[in-house]
Chains A and B, each alone.
Chain A
Amino acid sequence: MGRNDLARHALGDDRPMSSTAPRHTALDALHRSLGATMTDFAGWDMPLRYGSERDEHLAVRTKAGLFDLSHMGEITVTGPQAADLLNYALVGNIASVGIGRARYTMICRADGGILDDLIVYRLAETEAGSSHYMVVANASNAQVVLDALVERSAGFDAEVRDDRDSYALLAVQGPESPGILKSLTDADLDGLKYYAGLPGTVAGVPALIARTGYTGEDGFELFVAPGDAEKLWQALTEAGAPVGLVPCGLSCRDTLRLEAGMPLYGNELSTSLTPFDAGLGRVVKFEKEGDFVGREALQEAASRASENPPRVLVGLVAEGRRVPRAGYAVVAGGEVIGEVTSGAPSPTLGRPIAMAYVDAAHSAPGTEGVGVDIRGSHEPYEVVALPFYKRQK
């Protein structure tokens, strides 16, 4: 064990460290009292894991897990032309989202490059004729998204507001999460569909209750005032502990989303890729009314992807036990044919898995002779369709 190895790898994430002092969530003291291993993530000091990340992962798959996701960036967009602005600024058809529903979408540059992937929640109107949306951006991109929305709002009768400090975000994920939440709220959870959200009260705390997540399981995300976060965390812990809920860090969140085939910005998504390159062209709605940023470039990207795709995002499952990591080369016949974007030991499959961009000729599930260059040794991998894991409904 080298000290440098410990410092470089084990105690942190792969992402670059921020140059300024990290920010702390409203639950920081609580994480430390729980003995969490903390990590710098996109400028925030966040829990990486509390105990075994494998146990945390399996708790979410079989019971429930509780996450602090307060690093996510909330941006409020309101006004008579809020929907028009979002339809122009984002690639999705936000005007078609009903009150109380949510949409997974992306914000792109004029050249089609992905600035971020987002969830947009449409909330109830607070004043007649003015619609109300909450845009949730990745922590690492929140400022970029905010700046882009403000810039793109010129000429629209809409207000873009930075609400990053207005919310703490707690997530309860896993098959036991509906039962846990039901014991703490009168809100109609049975009527709350996947990708929907409604205002309510949980454990006496006002919350936006959303049925969304990043784990591949049923679950909820609760947006609350930072001052209420600790009370809500404690109530969820007490209600959930008897059915196996455990606190969960970002390490298992990453393996959960990887098994579920969900992209992570900075790994599978970047400004040098369009949604079509990432196999997510379905989020781009050309049929919506009016122009939107990136329309022309994305139309070209769409035809390129269907006729002559450069590389395709695939799943890889190891035959051995060595773990592929982001940046490792994918090889076939001694040639480099792609690159790993995310890799980890999969607790559910019991084998290492990866997502990778590979040349189209080697992208079909079952393609023979594909391997990953793991520090000089070519380890055999099976090409599979994504996701690796899909929950039984």
Chain B
Amino acid sequence: MSMKNSAILGEALISMRATGLRTFLTMLGIIIGVGSVVLMLAIGRGVEISVRESIASQGSNLYIILPGATTSGGIRSGSGGAATLTVGDAEELARLPGVAAVAPNVGGPGQVVYEGQNWSTSITGTTPGFFQIRDWKVSNGEIFDDSAVRAAAPVAVIGATVAEKLFGPDDDPIGRTIRIRNIPFQVIGVLEEKGQSLQGQDQDDTILVPLTTAQRRLFGSPFPGAVRIIFVQAVSEDVMKALELEMRDVLRLRHRLSEEQEDDFSIRDLTAIGQTIEQSTQAVSLLLGSIAAISLVVGGIGIMNIMLVSVTERTREIGVRKAIGARERDILLQFLIESVILSLGGGLIGLILGTGLSMLIGSLLSLPTEVSLFSVTLSFVVAAGIGVFFGYYPARQAARLQPIEALRYQ
């Protein structure tokens, strides 16, 4: 003989309905707690996504190869100080399996002039692969192709900022002739806007020209064919470790380095740098979540408080129930179910509220907030856990009441 669980549930619901306002106020603590956890996780997630997007705007699965330090006559230059990387290196690397695109770059600052306007910006000479690697398209006009690179054509693709500074918002730059470092170039394309880089630089304040044109006409070098940097994009993240080793072998061979000699170049994995940044944003969202979790615990303590009051108020009722045959388990379960319903109900309302608010904030701040399945599951498990954890002590107090004491209680 034992009380049916459905009957215990019914008893719990009836006694909760009898104290409606108090039930709601107790739930409010959990509603706020779960709501803020869901909201904070959604905002944190939104920040993570937008950071990831801006990392991806740098190009994914990306290596940059810089010329290394050289030692000449006992004087060591810093990294990038030597002109050790060449167009030939880039062409050789492009032949490796696992490489999706290669873009050797030269460049430097330069003054550009269009009619009465002039602007100082950074000039980059590169190959069409650069547009693929940076996942950068033109909003207007077109990019230069390989034939333009072969012919060292005087054409330029300008960034959105440069276009705005030289031509203003209304004028169409396509087909116009600008002078870069006093050399005339024809504008064939305007890049779409990318905004700030993670370092805070305006990525749109730039001009891209064919590599060969830059080498021969803008940045004359004592080492013809030398490049300042090579971007290499791998076909996938999986091949990156192996590819790094292969690229190193190729470059060492081409640079005729003996075993004792150090690399005269350095290979940097931009994805790894991106991951570090991502980790730090994750830490921030964890922090936000923890602060919200504290309010959830406070809500749980509220439940415990009310359940203890409820046990005291209903001492006589508990005594009657025990006198007529309720077992400890029946009483324990009844109070436990009450507190779990309180916290789960609060959890559900909090979830709806938190989701609504995160959508609202997301659209106000244009942040891609996202309520994940994880945070839904988490808030439910935690809410139920709080119900059991904070409900157990009062429920046990009720279950252990001596019937004789409880019946005497006024």
| A, B: real partners | no
